[in-house]
């Protein structure tokens, strides 16, 4: 039987591990799948997606900067995708395009996997781009004590707060961060690679703060190193989130949930050996 065709669209996309991850899931479950990475032009996502579907594409992941556009192009949205305003998983169903967002699932399962507590936690989310937007509905469901969105460009944090106006969320710029009582800080900015970190004050971290960086790389990220130096309780990167969100997408397409843990281990080893 011909393999069903899937794809991840982004710009840039060369760095994507999604084709490898989905191939591991397919191997685990004995599923025949073809999964490519596709560089869509910044102003040409819609056309690239239409061509993929016309050529028999069955589903796709969407990464930066196209998640909001994928949301607009979806004919039907899952509750979580509708609330977030961003789509990272598309399924083709006849002539309808179904949009979902699995980033929140990936984040929450990875936080629990690392022993973080979410109930009654004071949470600081750094960043107001597609990744931050995508995880907010899932975070809100976790009965947090508070959620603050802080962004380099404060107006974007305020816009995001406005989007989720049914919920009690605070928003501010980095320079307005004065609270010291955060139990969990999530870096959803793209400042995390190499020695970079978002320009936030060290006072946001206390000895009970759990820090999570959505960015991942072979070595601890710049943000993780900084959190550690500021005395955080624990710091972890976003590799588990990446595999978790992919597993949830896979389950949407194939109705079967693959095992996450062995794929996280293998991917960590690949990164550490420079592959």
In the complex, what is the shortest distance from the CB of residue 136 to ligand NDP, in angstroms, rounded to a whole number?
Answer: 12
Does position 131 bind ligand NDP by CB under 6 A? yes
> Which structure tokens are listed for 175?
């320079």
Cβ neighbours for 220, distance < 8 A, ≥ 6 positions apart: 228, 235, 237
Does position 106 bind ligand NDP by CB under 6 A? yes
In the complex, what is the shortest distance from the CB of residue 170 to ligand NDP, in angstroms, rounded to a whole number?
Answer: 16
Does position 263 bind ligand NDP by CB under 6 A? no
Instruction: Give the separation between CA 3 and CA 32, rounded to whole angstroms.
Output: 5
Does position 153 bind ligand NDP by CB under 6 A? yes
Does position 188 bind ligand NDP by CB under 6 A? yes
In the complex, what is the shortest distance from the CB of residue 246 to ligand NDP, in angstroms, rounded to a whole number?
Answer: 8
Applying CB under 6 A, among 99, 104, 127, 258 the residue interacting with ligand NDP is: 127
In the complex, what is the shortest distance from the CB of residue 94 to ligand NDP, in angstroms, rounded to a whole number?
Answer: 29
Applying CB under 6 A, among 151, 171, 209, 249 the residue interacting with ligand NDP is: 151
Does position 16 bind ligand NDP by CB under 6 A? no
DSSP letter string over 138-183?
A: HHHTT--SEEEEEESSHHHHHHHHHHTTTS-EEEEEGGG------S
CA 272, chain centre distance (Å): 22
Residue with tokens 């995708």: 81
- Map 19-40 to HEC letters: HHHHHHHHHHHCCCEEEEEEEC
Nearer to ligand NDP by Cβ, of 4 and 197: the residue is 197
Nearer to ligand NDP by Cβ, of 64 and 177: the residue is 64
Does position 130 bind ligand NDP by CB under 6 A? yes
Instruction: Give the separation between CA 101 and CA 103, rounded to whole angstroms.
Output: 6
Does position 65 bind ligand NDP by CB under 6 A? yes
Nearer to ligand NDP by Cβ, of 83 and 103: the residue is 103
Nearer to ligand NDP by Cβ, of 29 and 64: the residue is 64
119 is catalytic: no
In the complex, what is the shortest distance from the CB of residue 120 to ligand NDP, in angstroms, rounded to a whole number?
Answer: 25
User: Do residues 181 and 206 touch, judged by C-beta distance below 8 A?
Assistant: yes
Degrees to nearest 5, angle at CA 117 with 107 and 147: 70
Does position 236 bind ligand NDP by CB under 6 A? no
Instruction: Give the separation between CA 36 and CA 143, rounded to whole angstroms.
Output: 38
Choose, from 2, 50, 67, 141, the residue flagged as catalytic: 67
Does position 64 bind ligand NDP by CB under 6 A? yes
> Which structure tokens are listed for 91?
């399924």
Instruction: Give the separation between CA 114 and CA 240, rounded to whole angstroms.
Output: 9
The torsion angles phi and psi of 26, rounded to 5 degrees, stand at -65, -40
- Of residues 192 through 231, those in contact with ligand NDP by CB under 6 A are 192, 198, 214-216
**How big is the site for ligand NDP, counted in residues (CB under 6 A)?**
27
Query: Between β-strands 89-93 and 57-62, what pairing exists: parallel, antiparallel or unpaired?
Result: antiparallel
Catalytic site positions = 67
Q: In the complex, which residues of this chain contact ligand NDP (CB under 6 A)?
A: 64-65, 103, 106, 127-132, 151-153, 156, 188-192, 198, 214-216, 238, 241-242, 245
């Amino acid at each position: 039987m011909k393999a069903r065709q899937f794809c991840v669209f982004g710009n840039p996309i060369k760095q994507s591990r999604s084709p490898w991850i989905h191939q591991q899931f397919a191997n685990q479950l004995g599923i025949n799948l073809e999964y490519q990475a596709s560089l869509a032009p910044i102003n040409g996502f819609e056309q690239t997606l239409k061509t993929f579907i016309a050529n028999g594409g069955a589903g796709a992941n969407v990464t930066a900067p196209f998640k909001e556009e994928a949301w607009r192009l979806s004919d039907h949205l899952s509750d979580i995708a509708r609330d977030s305003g961003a789509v990272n998983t598309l399924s083709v169903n006849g002539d309808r395009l179904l949009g979902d967002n699995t980033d929140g699932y990936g984040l929450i399962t990875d936080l629990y996997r690392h022993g973080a507590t979410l109930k009654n936690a004071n949470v600081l989310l750094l960043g107001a781009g597609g990744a931050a937007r995508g995880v907010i509905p899932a975070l809100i469901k976790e009965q947090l004590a508070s959620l603050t969105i802080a962004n380099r460009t404060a107006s974007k944090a305020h816009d995001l707060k406005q989007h989720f106006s049914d919920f009690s969320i605070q928003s501010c710029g980095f320079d307005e961060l004065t609270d010291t009582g955060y139990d969990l800080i999530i870096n959803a900015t793209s400042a995390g690679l190499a020695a970079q970190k978002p320009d936030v004050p060290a006072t946001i971290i206390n000895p009970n703060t759990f820090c999570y960086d959505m960015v991942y790389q072979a070595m601890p990220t710049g943000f993780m190193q900084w959190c550690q130096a500021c005395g955080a309780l624990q710091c972890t990167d976003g590799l588990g989130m990446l595999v978790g969100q992919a597993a949830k997408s896979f389950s949407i397409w194939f109705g079967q949930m693959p095992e996450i843990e062995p794929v996280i281990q293998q991917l960590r080893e690949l990164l550490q050996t420079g592959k």
